[in-house]
Amino acid sequence: MERISCEVLVLGAGPGGYVAAIRAAQLGLDTVILEKSRAGGTCLNVGCVPSKALIHAADEYYAAFGAKDGNSIGIRVENPSLDWSKTLNWKDGVVSGLNRGVEGLLKKSGARMIAGAGRMVDGKNCMVETDDGDMRIAAKNVILAPGSTPIELPGLPFGGAVISSTEILSLESIPGKLAVVGGGYIGLELGIAFAKLGSEVMIIEATGQLLPQYDQALSVPVAKRLEDLGAAVHLNSRARGLAENGAKLEIETEGEGTSQISVDKVLVTVGRKPNLQDWGLEELQLDMSGDCILVDETCRTSMTGVYAIGDVTGEPMLAHRAMAQAEVAVEVIAGKRRVFDPVSVPAICFTDPEIVSVGLLPEQAKRKGDDIVVANFPLSVNSRAITLESRTGFVRIVARKDNGMVLGIQAVGKQVSELSASFSLALEMGACLEDIARTIHAHPTQSEALPEAAMIALGRGLHI
């Protein structure tokens, strides 16, 4: 058995893991990173990136199909069609290219990547199964980054017609009838995409609102878009299981009893859970918070020299949070003074229209006891939005009434995901309404809606 040692061992090469390994190597730490699959983790290989690729393909096809009889800006497309196998090949090419890029970055940094399944023996040692045989790694410090997995429903175990967000990205054909169980951001992103690709989509949501993590002002435009696309929405409903050899999905709706809907595929998107299996958690003495590994502000666990980052530490399970945690953990190992204490972690829903939320929603600010001012600027009067044929949505700012400190910024509309950086920066820098209102934003851009909202909050709106 081969035996090696290192200063930092990273378990998992997802967004958090590979960033941790690169940063550790940059700091001169002898670093090994383990990955049993492909570098990039769920996000790059079977999550964020491929889903956004298919969302883009769906948008392009839907636009072409909508122009078959000529559209309002003079474009006409004769006999639009979709070669699904070519679409999948393009999506896979995007993923493969980025995958090679991550591997190249790891190699360039000097971190050693080992392909194999790692299992912790204790807080300092890991056994690895590789194609070339077993290996034992001894490490001074360990960073756990095993990621998360889709949650499975008891009555709808994955397999056959029941699929997760992983399998839907590689279907051999577009399902005629697609039921989406769960009206959160993953379900609606994929549901809208497949509605544009031609599927008859049905959304089953247990609560009384789609996208329950947002307020209705943000979710209603998405619900309206689903209606325009012909998707059926069942609120206050729960999927109970398949009937008639998998051809029908039984749902129970509050106050209405049970019913059945015909399906070809059932996409279950009710959330994700930390991956606690098959890497040796039971061999470690880690404090837990429910099914998440408990960490402090430096990403330390309850064991000396053992750190945890990313989805395994709980919500929000977002790649950019994992990346930020990775830098903190590694720099602490290197002896630097760092803590993970962001003002906010931006959340984006890549639906149609898109949603961005940074910081506190209005109701969250009120619950904290803040006396607040809330101002919206509609994108229907923003020149750039109009040239994008988008008159839906708004930019909203939430601030303290006494000193104008910005507590939250949200937006819903076409391509508003690209505004997330300026929203986050404003909060992280402690901006007040006057700071934003007096910052020159380029014209014509949708970003102009941010200072306009700030000016409305200050009582001096210009373009409304």
Tens place of pLDDT per residue across the chain (464 aa): 899 999 999 999 999 999 999 999 999 999 999 999 999 999 999 999 999 999 999 999 999 999 999 999 999 999 999 999 999 999 999 999 999 999 999 999 999 999 999 999 999 999 999 999 999 999 999 999 999 999 999 999 999 999 999 999 999 999 999 999 999 999 999 999 999 999 999 999 999 999 999 999 999 999 999 999 999 999 999 999 999 888 999 999 999 999 999 999 999 999 999 999 999 999 999 999 999 999 999 999 999 999 999 999 999 999 999 999 999 999 999 999 999 999 999 999 999 999 999 999 999 999 999 899 999 999 999 999 999 999 899 999 999 999 999 999 999 999 999 999 999 999 999 999 999 999 999 999 999 999 999 999 999 999 98
Range of the domain at 202: 162-270
Distance CA(323)–CA(327), nearest Å, equals: 7
Same domain, 251 and 315: no
Question: Is 351 in the same domain as 440?
Answer: yes
Is position 443 annotated as part of the catalytic site?
yes
Instruction: Answer yes or no: are the C-beta atoms of 326 and 177 closer than 8 Å.
Output: no
Q: Judge if 28 and 109 occupy the same domain.
A: yes
Residue 391: the pLDDT is 84
- The whole-angstrom distance between residue 381's C-alpha and the CA centroid of its chain comes to 30
Alpha helices in 67-123 (DSSP H): 84-109
Identify whether 318 is part of a domain: yes
Lookup result for tokens 């971190």: 111
The SS3 assignment for 418 reads helix
Q: How many CB atoms lie within 10 A of CB 132?
A: 10
Q: Is 131 in the same domain as 26?
A: yes
pLDDT at 189: 98
| CA–CA separation, 75 and 69 (whole Å) | 9
Same domain, 28 and 136: yes
Number of domain units in the chain: 3
The per-residue pLDDT for 1 is 85
What is the pTM for the complete model shown? Answer: 0.95
Q: What burial letters (b/e) apply to 1-35, b meaning 16+ CB within 10 Å?
A: eeeeebbbbbbbbbbbbbbbbbbbbebebbbbbbb
175: domain CATH number? 3.50.50.60
Identify the CA nearest to 178 among candidates 160, 190, 170: 190
Specify if 28 maps to a domain. yes
Taking a C-beta distance cutoff of 8 angstroms, is the pair 87, 54 a contact? yes
Same domain, 114 and 233: no
Q: How far is CA 189 from CA 58, 203, 256, 319, 459, in A?
A: 11, 11, 28, 17, 36
Does residue 172 sit in helix, strand or coil? coil
Q: Are residues 352 and 452 in the same domain?
A: yes
Q: Which of 239, 270, 301 is the last residue of a domain?
A: 270
- How far is C-alpha 173 from the chain's CA centre? 25
Tokens of 296: 């402090």
Q: Are residues 133 and 196 in the same domain?
A: no
* First CA to last CA distance, the chain: 72
Catalytic residue among 56, 234, 320, 443: 443
CATH code for the domain in which residue 361 is found: 3.30.390.30
132 and 21 in one domain?
yes
9/102 same-domain check: yes
Cα distance between residue 247 and residue 203, in whole Å: 17
**128 shares a domain with 24:** yes
H-helix or E-strand spanning residue 327: helix 319-333
Decide if 357 contacts 367 (C-beta within 8 A): no
The position carrying tokens 């590789």 is 130
* 385-381-389-362 Cα dihedral, nearest 10 degrees: 60
- What Cα–Cα distance (Å) separates residue 23 from each residue in 116, 358, 402? 22, 26, 41
Residue 400 forms beta bridges with which residues? 372
85 and 232 fall within a common domain: no
Give the model's pLDDT for residue 194: 98
Q: Is residue 40 part of a domain?
A: yes
